[in-house]
Amino acid sequence: MDFKRVVRGEGADVPLEPGEIVYVPLSPYRYLDHYLEVILDTFVSSTAINAGTSLIGVPTTGEARIFIPVGSGVQITPPAAPPPIR
């Protein structure tokens, strides 16, 4: 059986019996997909953090002005009260 011919639709369908194992090769681009996802998540997180730090000290109207995507790994920690100036 020629796997490539079957994938292209040129080969005959292969009947399977119970208990048979089918091997499907991994995508040659699997690492590229992973790295692109990491790069995109890092870019979005960095953009959100930079936008948030640029708004420190800017009065707000009560609306949230920072977008942090769910699953980005960014955690929001409220700022600690500054020490008293003496």
Q: Distance between terminal CA atoms of the chain?
A: 83
pLDDT (0 to 100) of residue 22:
83
C-beta separation of 51 from 66 below 8 A: yes
At 28-79, the pLDDT tens digits run 777 888 888 889 888 888 888 877 776 666 655 665 566 677 777 777 776 6
pLDDT value for 3: 73
Can you give the pTM of this predicted structure? 0.36
Check residue 8 and give its pLDDT: 82
Residue 2: its pLDDT value, please? Answer: 75
Report CA-CA distances (Å) from 15 to 7, 24, 40. Answer: 15, 16, 42
Please indicate whether residue 32 or residue 84 has the higher confidence score (pLDDT).
32
